[in-house]
Amino acid sequence: MRVYNSFIVALAVTFTLITLFMSLFQVAGLDAYFAVYTIALLVLIALFTVFSPRARRNLNQVGIGAFGGFMVIVAVKIVEILSGK
């Protein structure tokens, strides 16, 4: 199960680095953090090609959930822009 460990470690390191860099650039919106986390998660899922079909199917479900959240954030932002807030 070393591939699972590698994936979890890679994800943890990526999330930490993202948080570090975004806080250095003083990003204040939680939605921005979530959007970047989602992109990082989807990229890592795509990069780890050696998962078993079952693990990939399960991970894709998490990816779809995160992507759904990302789309909600985008939709809210579009509504905000269109309503001129």
Partner 1 sequence: MSNLTGNTPESRKKTRNPYRSLGLVLTVAGALLAPVFYFLAASVPLTALALSAIILGLVSATLANARPEITPEAAQMMLRTGMENIASLLEELGLTSRAIYLPSPEKGGRPKAVIPLKEDGFVPEVTRIVPDRLITRFGPNLENMCLSVTTPGSISLDGIPLVRGGGTGQVESALSQVLVGLMDLADSVSLHTDERRLLVDVTNPKLKYDNVWYCRSLGSPVASVVAAIASEGLARPLRIKSEKAEGKNVRIELEILP
Residues that bind partner 1 (CB under 8 A): 1-4, 7-8, 11-12, 15-16, 18-19, 22-23, 27-30, 33-34, 37, 41, 49-55, 57-59, 61-62, 65-66
Dist CA 14 CA 49 (whole Å): 18
Dist CA 3 CA 18 (whole Å): 22
Whether residue 64 contacts residue 38, with contact meaning beta carbons closer than 8 Å, is answered with no
Provide the minimum distance between the beta carbon of 79 and partner 1 in the complex, in angstroms, as a whole number: 22
Provide the minimum distance between the beta carbon of 55 and partner 1 in the complex, in angstroms, as a whole number: 4
Task: Please say which residue, 49 or 83, places its beta carbon nearer to partner 1.
Answer: 49
Provide the minimum distance between the beta carbon of 82 and partner 1 in the complex, in angstroms, as a whole number: 25
Whether residue 3 contacts residue 48, with contact meaning beta carbons closer than 8 Å, is answered with yes
DSSP 8-state code for residue 30: H
